[in-house]
Structure 1
């Protein structure tokens, strides 16, 4: 099969320009070969990872045969392209973004440089600081390329590099080199000479070792920076102009090497890190790039031993990146000389220059973990097989989880088996990530991740009661560090089809860990300014689920409270392990803690956690029995307090919980002996019953639904709270939102289901057409005495469109409704679709309110992503705008982008 696929794809790629691009998708290839699509997809992805195919990141993903492209004389410089057009007619990329570390250790430096290059009126001067060999000259050349890309200089503009150290002891020659000289300016000046500034006119002049400039030279330079004018040496009456962008480089401390007047004219000072101070991932990519370059020069496949890679990664070599590049060049050349007739050149430690071979023996004498050698192929820039073992492990996991989930969807596998299998795999991978030793945990990126994850977990504990411990921090840091925000599944066709279903599956089956994972990763992505990946949510959800050894048959919460540094923690930990389940949480308390503080701690726990099934407190002192009296008005379910806590007592309580006993059954089962006391407290107040109303388009519509429901129910609903609430918060945070803590929510009524499994949802359209009247009345029967028939009549009356628009205060209801209806019909015509009853209701209700809101000069909430949204949905928004032109003309208004977006959301449902 593999041979058949290879031959077919080769022929297909050779005829690339004939027919549609879809032919190269896994689906079309499978149909053409009459083979299983899943099998074909697996083969294609495997061949891509082995470097045999080129991937086009379309949707669907396309695969092209690499050798066929080369045979067709198509240049290939990477493994993935955004489109076939970019493969066939490659455009120059962003020179700065292509630099290794541009989104890592050099991100701040690159941002500074972009600012300097794009600054109006000839940009800003740039000073590059860093030790010798840190890449200053290389970066200066990339700045030149970037300036040409951005068309701030001509594509044929000059780039002139000059080392100021050449004439350090001869100021006259240095001035002459920079500014030129007239005939007779000094002894030997037999003719007029143009300087570097004049030669660099219209382009970039790069001055390396600029600290070697004398004070006089610095003064001349900053005069030119101020005026754009200079005089050649020998005649100050001559004033010449030049348009030159300046880049300086130095290895010295700028404050001791330069005049203050010179420094003041350098607004952009960029510091480049030493090789050893860059993250290991960047150091490895630099080393890989040097070996790939040597492979191309020698036109041989290179196989490099891991001990050599390890030496280059971890040695603090003088000369920095430049030195490492030269060492690699020497080692490859040395290996080539001895094996030049072989197709594969093996590069080992023995190929290092002698001085570095000895250095290796001194510094790396201890045996290390055996790692696989690395292979480099000529004429490539990006090689998938250079990924770390951990990245390959994650790629395999995500690839397989997509296939396994498809079986669950097709009912070929059980959901629970799918969950348990992936929880086990995630747990094993986490163990490997934590204990593997291929990276230094002191690296800056690792430290940054550790800090932000601790902060995030602190936030989640404060707001949601999510417990933090050291193991969770290390596990999450290890995973995110090794994955490095890589979007592994970005080009996976099946994942793009499945991911929404996968998110819904996790939301349904693993609701709490899924919610925590999404909350944590969303917050982290904001703090670290990086994209939120659904695949990470999947992985972390399974990890969070694994933290609960297994589900308990009930949801009784149990807390051990004891004085001492770790007394409570030790008791809870021992019993949880003995039971094999996480039954108990622990609070270790100082000896002198007051009862007020303990009470506050318990109240916070009650507010953070759902304790509907009851709460058991196991305490070490009888004085804590007073907590019962204090907590009576705060608890929403039975509370049991037992004192004189001990391991046997905790174990006995835990066993009852594991067996599924209720809180009152546990209370009855515990025998009081000796000095042990127990008490059962029943809450004195019950939470008020409530209905939540919500609408996708915002709080305004949710409030209108609330008001109409109140009119329908009248005096019979005096004991019932009808609460409008933000739909997006409900959909994201589920039962963790405030209303569920304060009220006993009977149902949610709205225009869009926020999918909270524990709470019934009734759609507004179902109430309007009468379908859900009986269900609505049934949910209220115990709380409100209502006549079904009369209630139904009132409901239909109050929910009629006319009654809704009567809530408008400054507009004529009949007129505005007529105009809105006309606009909506025009929109159906323009889009070629027919709106559902629910969409029509939403559009009428929202548009009438919207017109009045605009006339009142009230605005909707700002949306940070509006520009991105317009780029994606601009066509639809333009059609909506066109349909509402008559409305705009009638009321002399203009629909802003934010309003058009809300209308588009309704249209798209």
Structure 2
């Protein structure tokens, strides 16, 4: 057990109901106070204990009681922090946690909560001990000084004595005041270009000069938050914008989800109930109008309108009740009308406000939640929790005929329909009662702060056991994520996973996967089979048409590593190398592995029914499936006959010319001659699979290759007399020397010229020579004779191909895409370098042709370096 964990256990056993300080921990564990403080603050970050802002700091166990207002997350009070604003909150946290912090720019219209979010960023930094507990938070509204640049500069940076008339003494600015904490610049678009430039150095080097001081730098450690309602492209300097790595975008109120608008309006009525100490009753239809109205001032205007509304009706309230309807307020409320009202209750005794959808801390549902510590306890307590929630809501709504959650929130109807459909895809059918209970969970997580603050999730160890239930629940949530469903809330996903686990029965322990190419082929077949069988047997993986075996293996392995495969894995695929897949996947499967090719609907149903009946995988392996599996023979290698492979770095065109020569000396019935793109050859060699080259006699290439699988014949060494074709002698029908001489001649200007069909050799030699020299000069390199001849062969052949309309025009390789800017520079120069040839022959050279030339030259440049 780590020291930190020992400290936590000590607090649990000896300080359950009282506070502890770093001095207490240091004394008990015989360590320095700083070390003790470090461990305690780490426990705070992990959410295990809390601390206050006293001196010395007191630490205490996290408990749920009437006086504990500590939130699970500093940002939890910002409605939507785990929904529509979730990604923006992530950016805020990233800005705080980055060493020395990152500048943040909050964008949004007036009233969306920019200033409030800025204060939460500061609070988060304090809560997580990133800055000191008493670090400053300084606010400056730049709009107040929009018409006085000098005054703004003096307020922001301070000024030196004598800097201007009336500057009687040196005065500190807001940046000095914010040292060690945060400076919030609201309406930052009002900063002049000069003041923006002054902030450059502050952001980059944490230093600045006061107004009137041109010698002395002031050093500070200030974190910046900025906010604006304007388009920053037109109001802020580009050099200033580049120094702000994180931009936070807050949406208008009417762009928020239904649930978020509901929560925002409810929050303000709750707040007013607490302030005026009156119960507030709001007619449901009127409340819907309030939350659905578009406000130019957004959330700020909504808050003010509700405040004015309560103030106007406060004097006429009776029995400490304010009742609001579409037709106005009235002070009498009959008991039968309560069902049509939302109630915001101020409880004078407990000094707490209580909304209809927010059960009291002492309610039975709350007591159930307090007993949920992990996923297993969630499963055990979920039935009672649902019952308690339903009873409390029914009572609050005066519902005597049962609670239909879809009537309470009509938007849930479509969500629940989609969820029910997803359940069927996995062989799971929910009845009306179960659908209503799922809707109840979604509703309560959306409006109840007690639920919203929970952080229990499906842990990795639970995923191995409950992966089927987790897959169903997360797919259900994804299906309705576009319908204002809080699908990103991890604790809701955990709760639905527990619910699915309680209401499903999975007959088969064997995992079965269908992998097919096409947009929805695999998932559609898997869903159809699951529905027909009535069990979650199959998981489908749809693969793009152009994806090969390697990607399929990677996708399957990523999935099976996260689940329990101790009972085996059945993999049905539409195509691919069975041998290669088996070798790569079996390493990640704890049980047996069966892979079957050429999947069909009949095969899927046959296997699925047997798995549903509990048939073990070994029995499936031994069963006869001749009716479903087409017979095929497995082949390995580039060719089923002996072959010679020819590949040249300068392009497949030269390899074809080589093939023409070698073909005259080898018996085509005994040996096949294969030409291959050089990049493809390198890829095959790097796989280090001997089976690929099992019938290959030798590889003829123009480059040095390191390959121990089979002999490499380097053409350059043959031309220079350093190597021979003797390894091919057993397969040649003519003299080896004659074949060698023809190859040597090919790699001379004379031999290359003879292979031009209609171009003037003398003219082309001079034109291409100028192009080659142009590249040498531009890149400050020198081509060796052999490569120079290679280039001549390639470029002259390219010109002829282009004249015949046979140019290469294919997608650029990953290598080229990864060097996009450098390659574009090469293309730009090449167009100039080929200018005379392009003009003479009226040609346009495609980028794909330039890509081949670039790879040759890039290799020479790399070797030079």
TM-score range for the pair, normalised by the shorter chain length: 0.3 to 0.5
The structure with the larger Rg is: 2
TM-score normalised to the size of structure 2?
0.42
TM-score normalised to the size of structure 1?
0.40
